[in-house]
Amino acid sequence: MRIIRFDSVGGASGDMILGALIGLGIDPAFLQKVLSRLIPEHFHIVAKPKASHGINGIAATVDIHEHHEHAPHKHEHTHSDHHEHEHAHHEHGEHDHHHRAFSDIKKLIENSFLQAEVKTMSVKVFAALAEAEGKVHGVPAEDVHFHEVGAVDSIVDIVGCCLAYHLLKIDGISVSTLPTGIGTFKCNHGIYPLPAPATAELLKNLASAPTDEPYEMVTPTGAALLSVWPKLEISASSRITNSASAFGQRELKNRPNLLRAMLYETDAESKPALMARKLTVLETNLDDCTAEIIGVAFNKLMDSGALDVWTAPIMMKKQRNGILLSVLCEPADKQKFMEIILTETSTFGVREYEITRHCLDRHFEEIETAYGKVRIKVGAYNGREITRSPEIDDCRKLAEQHNVPLKKVYAAASSANTEKQSSV
């Protein structure tokens, strides 16, 4: 098991997290090559050595090339922001960035050549940003138009970090208390206190505390990445195998602008047979809600990224028949799903509790069928492969494309899967 521990004294931003992952062994030239195929605009990932307060580390930036060359991250704003380029609602500086809707960014990522896990994680981070911005501005997440967060540099930060996470084969992260700045900042909508509204939304499920620094220390992109990535506990059998220090672009008053990443690994012989993750269960009892309304809420919870949703018949007080609606989610996402339950059903309250889920180690393989490629989910226990199953969504899409029954495509995928197992 591989876990990254992020310890921050200078906050967290997309470029600081990217710099930390580069410091842990990711080649910025490889990220540049891969992401250049995703994003049509010209950019350059710059990772340079930097020292501050006697500590050596890396400073990463995304240099945007437009009609003429710009120095890295020259687009500072009218307020004393910390990491220059993160806010979706900031004033623009020396040049305007491309504004993109969340739906456009989602389509760009989903239609790309990236691995399925990288696509899913990248979209989830942008979805968290869209949810936060939408709540702040009172618009649906799908209709949120990102300004700077939707610009090239922030897409590179988010997708680049998710790609690096995948390349490093990380199972989860652990995060220290994040320091936030004090004071105010100025944007198109006026003067607001720090942390910015969208950042405050994203920080709800991360530990944070104000400092004496009058700057933006945690950005929406940094908060989104750290809140979305799965959280794991570092066991007593783990050991540090690598570490890196990443610096932000601004010099702070009383501390280094530093985010440290330490890579922990559990020895193969002591690796647990099952992957354990701390998750949250939300549940509510419904006795005055129609099945159709519960069905709509069920689908909306699943479409919003819940890990699982289920219902069960129950007998409530005064012997009323009812339905128990339960949602399994990441702790960082519980506010989003709680809001869906409260707004889409007739309940007056939601219960929550923490659980530990034990899962098989899993990965995906692709097999070829007469109808096209289908992903196969492979589960392993103690390093031994014990189960393989076709992804039903892939089969459904191919069935629709070829106008054949779903069961026919599924049978073809199962047959090809069996043949592949026999040939190994």
- The 10s digit of each residue's pLDDT in 356-366 is 888 887 788 88
List of long-range contacts for 183-192, beta carbons under 8 Å, 24+ apart: 183/80, 183/214, 183/215, 184/79, 185/77, 185/79, 185/80, 185/81, 185/216, 186/77, 186/78, 186/79, 186/91, 187/77, 187/79, 187/87, 187/89, 187/90, 187/91, 188/89, 188/90, 188/91, 189/89
Q: Which tokens belong to 48?
A: 């340079």
Give the model's pLDDT for residue 89.
36
Per-residue pLDDT tens over the stretch 73-129: 333 333 333 444 444 433 333 334 456 788 888 889 999 999 989 999 999 999 998
Q: In 10 A of CB 387, how many CB atoms?
A: 11
Dist. CA 136–CA 359, nearest whole Å = 36
81 or 235, greater pLDDT: 235
CB atoms closer than 10 angstroms to residue 320? 11
Q: Which two tokens stand for residue 320?
A: 């009323």
The Cβ of residue 102 has, within 10 Å, a number of other Cβ atoms equal to 25
- Rounded to an integer, the average pLDDT of 283-288 is 95
Q: Which residues contact 422 (CB under 8 A, 6 or more apart)?
A: none
Tell me the two tokens of residue 25.
């062994």
> What structural domains and CATH numbers belong to the chain?
2-270 (no CATH), 275-359 (3.30.70.1380), 361-423 (3.10.20.300)
Cα(400)–Cα(185) distance, integer angstroms: 51
Which pLDDT does position 14 carry in this prediction? 94
Give the residue with greater pLDDT, 148 vs 159. 159
Three-state SS for 135? helix
pLDDT at 91 (0 to 100): 31
- pLDDT > 90 in the chain, percent: 53
* pLDDT at res. 150: 52
Instruction: Tell me the DSSP string of 321-369.
Output: EEEEEEEEE-GGGHHHHHHHHHHHSS-S--EEEEEEEEE-EEEEEEEEE
pLDDT band at residue 144 using 50, 70 and 90 as cut-offs: confident
- When pLDDT is cut at 50, 70 and 90, the band that residue 350 belongs to is very high
How far apart CA 332 and CA 309 sit, in angstroms, is 17
Provide the token pair at 90.
């900031």
Helices (H) and strands (E) in the chain, counts: 11, 19
Average pLDDT rounded to a whole number, residues 388-402: 93
What is the DSSP-derived secondary structure letter of residue 231?
A: B
Burial profile 28-65: b = 16 or more Cβ within 10 angstroms, e = fewer: beebbebbeebbeeebebbbeebebeeeebbbbbbbbe
More confidently predicted of 147 and 20: 20
pLDDT band at 418 (very low <50, low <70, confident <90, very high): confident
Element (H, E) at 115: none
Instruction: Tell me if 259 sits within 8 A of 6, measured CB to CB.
Output: yes
Please choose, from the candidates 50, 22, 17, the residue with its C-alpha nearest in 3D space to the C-alpha of residue 250.
50
Q: What is the pLDDT of residues 177-234, one digit of tens each?
A: 999 988 888 777 778 888 888 899 999 879 999 998 888 999 999 999 999 999 888 8
- 411 within 8 A of 417, measured Cβ to Cβ: no
Tokens 């970090």: give the residue: 161
Question: Average pLDDT, stretch 43-47?
Answer: 91
**Mean pLDDT within 311-319:** 93
What is the average per-residue pLDDT within 322-332? 93
Mean pLDDT computed over every residue of the chain: 85
DSSP per-residue codes, 34-75: HHHTT--SEEEEEEEEEEETTEEEEEEEEEEESSS---TT--
The two structure tokens encoding residue 140: 């649906």
For 166-176, write each residue's pLDDT tens digit. 999 999 999 99
Q: Which of 90, 97, 94, 96 is nearest to 192 (CA)?
A: 90
The structure's pTM equals: 0.64
**Can you give the pLDDT at residue 65?**
66
